Structure 1
Amino acid sequence: MTNDIARREPSPADVRRWRRYLADERAEASVYRDLAGRRTGEEREILLALAEAERRHEQHWLDLLGDRVGKPLRGDLRTRVLGFLARRFGSVFVLALAQRAEARSPYGADVDATPQMAADEQIHEEVVRALAARGRQRLSGTFRAAVFGANDGLVSNLALVLGISASGVPNHVVLLTGISGLLAGALSMGAGEYVSVRSQRELLEASTPNPAARTVLPDLDVDANELTLVYRARGMSPEDATTHAAEVLSGLATYNVEPDADAVEVDEHESVGNGWSAAVSSFCFFASGALIPIIPYLFGLQGTTAVIVAAVLVGIVLLGTGAVVGLLSGASPLKRALRQLAIGYGAAAATYLLGLLFGATLG
């Protein structure tokens, strides 16, 4: 396809577009190399392979441009930001951004790009998605506690403060209510997280087989083969369970080896963390979010001014947490930010209206 394109005289618009693609490919390859520099082992090799693929795409545009390459252009703003973040952090956030960048590839609709290049970009998105998924799994517990804790603190205390403020009570009452809401909510979140983590760990521990069961395998009746029941209880069909149990016992008898852990143990369950660390984290995240709505009252602001300032401060933080959720999930940061803002403001508006209603009724 490259030769066919090269036979026709490209228009100035073609040349500009090719040069932009060339700059973007170079910038993306640089991002992957920078990320690879912060990785080891398999992840490093995968990232370097992605960089090599971008180099092949770069060569395609070089071949088309020929002597029209001109002065090297800079990559687009998104790619340059990616490169900066990759050099400074090399985190899952960068991989999530790279995943979105690959998803926006224009090659599928560009006649000057080969079908192989368009296919490469789609596959690159999946490769980066898989790499980012590893980091998302590592972050999932902490990230969940951070986002939900802070968001709960923001929304619940903003709603509480605005509802009380709208009822017309004095400023010191609003402030006292906000501080009480902060402490009550943070303590509740911390206690709830501790109970949740401890309960989950106890349930998982109850499902873990007794390691001592391995020592009795050599004494099992080969004809009765009770080990078959273990595998059937795990979900194997009777035929598969019988075959696998026979293989395990045959290996013990033939080679006189130690019983394999697979004979009685289930797959290792995911770590659920420590109850106390989860409780402290939830307390701190909720408290940090719940502090935002009462800041204007701490500085002496009153009435409508305090309400507006509190709403603006909370809105900014809601937009930030929503954007972070969007980045990590590979979705649009703007949509997630606006969704978070709408939910938070919706809850606050409802309690504010109720406060106005109760204030008018009591008055």
Structure 2
Amino acid sequence: MTSTPPRAADLRRWRQYMADEQAEASVYRDLAERRTGEERAILLALAEAEARHESHWRELLGDNVGRAHRGDVRTRVLGFLARRFGSVFVLALAQRAETRSPYATDSDATAAMAADEQVHAEVVRGLAARGRNRLSGTFRAAVFGANDGLVSNLALVIGISASGVPNSVVLVTGLAGLLAGALSMGAGEYVSVRSQRELLEASTPSPEATQAVPHLDVNANELALVYRARGMSPDEAEAHAREVLNHPAALDALPPVPALATSATSDIVAEAAVSSVADPAAHEEVDEHEAVGTGLSAAISSFCFFASGAVIPVLPYLFGLQGLPALIVAAVLVGIALLGTGAIVGILSGGPPLRRALRQLLIGYGAAAVTYLLGLLFGSA
């Protein structure tokens, strides 16, 4: 019994799959060159998995492999970015690429290959999450600060301009809005960061308590109260505290204090209390783990990010444009910037960049439209 030869459409599809797998493996290898340790090993393992998928399509093609095909446009763009940047942006794009795999609905792909692609998406999501965590504080300040400056000052400039005041008044108002908003953002960020640090410091057990641990009364076992205050039941607290008092060396093996407790009944939270008593450096680790920096640095960065966004609506007036042309140019410049910040948010969050960009644009233009109508209303009044 002879098997039916594959159709021309099947051969084209298999060749494209094979080319895509080659391109994806190359992306992961390029990313691995910019990583070390565990992340590098994970990326190389992903490249090996894509190579196995390539072998499946090569085997199906047999003598019909034909000339080499190029991967799809998305994968080639990923490869270009990976070779030149190798950043969290590339991992976020790769995460989306893995979720679009057609293998789940293609009968020529094995169930294992479809499952591999789903798992790959989660692996890349985990790697991208590491990068997101590393830049989360700076990214938040940059995106939200610049976006606030764009939207608030565009709305202010358009509203004032619509009221019919002279161009010089619009310019002064825009510059005043830039300065006032940037100072407000900087002051607010300073207070926010300082308050967070003070809250963490107030919630972190004193490292000086280390000196008191050896002198505790074993029978009274005051250390158990620390555990109970951190959420343990009385019996569990007594058992843990007695073990620590009987084996002081166990103190050094406990994990460091977490920055913020998320569960009052967690054993980790309870153990963290004793860890901070045992290890004075634990208090310093909390400050490092906050990833919020100092109040002054946060204030300066927020001021700069807000000002960088708020200056864009003012640019047409700085260069002498007036009336409707100035409004149109300001709206276009801000629209481009909003699309950019929205796309960045989409890429880093693993969501569709175009949808996030349009959402950002609609929000900004919506706020500007409201103030424009109010300006017309006050101007006519």
* Fold shared, TM-score > 0.5 on shorter chain: yes
Q: Helix, strand or coil: the match of 1:265? A: helix
Q: Does 1:236 align with 2:232?
A: yes
Q: Does 1:341 align with 2:361?
A: yes
Aligned to 2:314: 294
Q: TM-score, normalised by structure 2?
A: 0.90
Candidates 4, 9, 20, aligned match of 1:8: 4
Query: Any unmatched runs of 5+ in structure 2?
Result: 257-271
Q: Using the TM superposition, give the Cα deviation of residue 330 of structure 1 relative to its aligned residue in structure 2, in angstroms.
A: 0.3
Deviations 1:298-336 (A, max 9, x none): 111111111111101100000000000000000000110
Q: Using the TM superposition, give the Cα deviation of residue 7 of structure 1 relative to its aligned residue in structure 2, in angstroms.
A: 3.9
Q: Does 1:326 align with 2:346?
A: yes
Distance 1:18 1:222, change over 3 A: same
Aligned to 1:50: 46
Task: Tell which deviates more after alignment, 200-209 or 27-36.
Answer: 200-209
Aligned to 1:3: none
| Identity among equivalent pairs (%) | 75
Q: Does 1:265 align with 2:261?
A: no
Q: Does 1:360 align with 2:356?
A: no
Candidates 274, 277, 281, aligned match of 2:297: 277
Give the distance between the partners of 1:259 and 1:21, measured in 2 at CA.
50
* Contact 1:213/1:264, CA 8 A, preserved across alignment: no
User: Aligned AA for 1:323?
Assistant: A
Q: Helix, strand or coil: the match of 1:83? A: helix
Candidates 191, 194, 203, aligned match of 1:195: 191
Q: Using the TM superposition, give the Cα deviation of residue 237 of structure 1 relative to its aligned residue in structure 2, in angstroms.
A: 2.0
Q: Using the TM superposition, give the Cα deviation of residue 256 of structure 1 relative to its aligned residue in structure 2, in angstroms.
A: 10
Deviations 1:169-204 (A, max 9, x none): 111110110011001101111111111111111111
Q: Does 1:312 align with 2:343?
A: no
Give the distance between the partners of 1:178 and 1:303, measured in 2 at CA.
14
Distance 1:359 1:83, change over 3 A: same
Q: Does 1:90 align with 2:86?
A: yes
Aligned to 1:177: 173
Tell me which stretches of 4 or more aligned residues in structure 1 moved more than 6 Å: 255-261
Give the distance between the partners of 2:67 and 2:155, measured in 1 at CA.
56
Q: Using the TM superposition, give the Cα deviation of residue 257 of structure 1 relative to its aligned residue in structure 2, in angstroms.
A: 8.4
Q: Does 1:30 align with 2:26?
A: yes
* Contact 2:251/2:275, CA 8 A, preserved across alignment: no
Candidates 143, 152, 157, aligned match of 2:153: 157
Q: Helix, strand or coil: the match of 2:276? A: coil
Give the distance between the partners of 2:203 and 2:229, measured in 1 at CA.
12
* Contact 1:96/1:330, CA 8 A, preserved across alignment: yes
Give matches, 1:111-150, under 5 Å. 111-150=107-146
Q: TM-score, normalised by structure 1?
A: 0.94
Q: Does 1:211 align with 2:207?
A: yes
**What is the alpha-carbon root mean square deviation over aligned residues?**
1.7
Q: Using the TM superposition, give the Cα deviation of residue 83 of structure 1 relative to its aligned residue in structure 2, in angstroms.
A: 0.6
Q: Helix, strand or coil: the match of 2:231? A: coil
Give matches, 1:89-108, under 5 Å. 89-108=85-104
Give the distance between the partners of 2:73 and 2:251, measured in 1 at CA.
61
Query: Any unmatched runs of 5+ in structure 1?
Result: 1-5
* Contact 1:99/1:125, CA 8 A, preserved across alignment: yes
Deviations 1:98-135 (A, max 9, x none): 00000100000101000000000000000000110011
Q: Helix, strand or coil: the match of 2:247? A: helix
Give the distance between the partners of 1:80 and 1:123, measured in 2 at CA.
22
* Contact 1:217/1:259, CA 8 A, preserved across alignment: no
Q: Does 1:220 align with 2:240?
A: no
Candidates 248, 253, 269, aligned match of 2:244: 248
Q: Using the TM superposition, give the Cα deviation of residue 78 of structure 1 relative to its aligned residue in structure 2, in angstroms.
A: 0.7
Task: Tell which deviates more after alignment, 277-286 or 229-238.
Answer: 229-238
Give the distance between the partners of 1:62 and 1:72, measured in 2 at CA.
11
Q: Does 1:79 align with 2:99?
A: no
* Contact 1:192/1:279, CA 8 A, preserved across alignment: yes
Give the distance between the partners of 1:114 and 1:258, measured in 2 at CA.
50
The number of aligned residues is 354
* Contact 2:157/2:173, CA 8 A, preserved across alignment: yes
Distance 1:7 1:230, change over 3 A: farther
* Contact 1:214/1:259, CA 8 A, preserved across alignment: no
